[in-house]
Structure 1
Amino acid sequence: MEIKLRQENKNDFESVFHLIEKAFEKEEYSDHKEQFLVERLRKSEAFIPELSIVAESEGKIVGHILFTKLKVVNDADSFESLALAPVSVLPEFQGKGIGAKLILYGHEIAKELGCKSVILLGHQDYYPRFGYELCEKYNIKMPFDVPAENCMAIALTENGLKGISGEVVYPKEFFE
């Protein structure tokens, strides 16, 4: 199965909406509204078009990933980072490495764009294989109550998380 990764475009929006809906349909820890979050984020200042990426197989969109801007703020400073949310793969294509391809390709594009780190809320057994570590290691805290093992960060560049600590400030679109 050949997978082509590319930047999402306007013609993909409807397919991506349905893909995300299907991908999270049976997910236990989901509000099943991720597709609406993506729609809101596309219209926000946090949106980076190059970091809305689709995976295609035989001309059909089978996966999508979105990285958007966020900040980590403490009393003295504010740091730029990225949020990874969501990564979606059609159920019949899950377990074939498409999510991994999207994550790694997204990391490469983010590095090319000068981004230094990514922060996410996700499965503790999945993301460490890509180099994600617990946020608490860096004294980075989420703005809401979630298990520490699900809050992770990765440095995309050497020392990309050095000296960064504080509370994550997500774009307001995450809470609408």
Structure 2
Amino acid sequence: MDRKIRIERMEDYKKTEKVVRNAFQSEAFSDKKEHILVHRIRQTEAFVPELSLVAENEKKAIVGHVLLSKVKIVNDKQVAKSLALAPVSVVPEYQNKGIGSQLIKEALTSAKNLGYQSVIVLGHQDFYPKFGFKKASTWRIKAPFDVPDEVFMALELTENSLAHVHGVVHYSEAFS
């Protein structure tokens, strides 16, 4: 399948939100509000337009989306900037064809090229490690809510960028 990954444009927003809604409509773990989260993130200072990517099929229809947004890792002594990977969406008929992985790889490369040093994800323990994610607890990084240790992960985009970072992740108000 011929597909193209590109930066999302403002005129794509409604189509992208429909893609996100469709991607999660039959997922058991979903609250079915991921499209609302995407909309809300775009309204905050956490939104990085260059890190909102879409996948197009051969007919230029949007079939997937990934979003990285700014977060902070906070403790008593420091605040470290990072990114959150959420959500990753592929419409059902295009799932299991590598589009989600391609979107994630492109987003991580773009984030590194923009100078970001780390990414946090809450996701499947068997999927995200293939991109280099490890348990966030490795760096004493914690979620702001109760979650199993193995599904809350972090990735250093720059080697040792989390070596002296620890604390609680603070997501943007869009996640509230």
| Same-fold status (TM-score > 0.5) | yes
Runs of 4+ off more than 4 Å: none
Note the 1:15-164 alignment, pairs <5 A: 15-58=15-58, 59-164=60-165
> What's the TM-score once normalised by structure 2's chain length?
0.98
Show structure 1 runs of 5+ residues with no match: none
Q: Share of identical aligned residues, percent?
A: 51
Which whole-Å CA distance do the structure 2 matches of 1:172 and 1:3 have between them?
33
Q: Deviations over 1:134-169 (max 9, x none)?
A: 011110000001111110000011112111100000
Which whole-Å CA distance do the structure 1 matches of 2:96 and 2:165 have between them?
34
Letter in 2 for 1:76: K
Shift of 1:107: 0.7
Which whole-Å CA distance do the structure 2 matches of 1:56 and 1:7 have between them?
11
Show structure 2 runs of 5+ residues with no match: none
Shift of 1:82: 0.1
Q: Deviations over 1:35-60 (max 9, x none)?
A: 00100100100000000000001211
Which whole-Å CA distance do the structure 2 matches of 1:25 and 1:149 have between them?
25
Letter in 2 for 1:25: Q
Which whole-Å CA distance do the structure 2 matches of 1:23 and 1:130 have between them?
21
Q: Deviations over 1:86-143 (max 9, x none)?
A: 0000111111000110011001110111000000100111100110000111100000
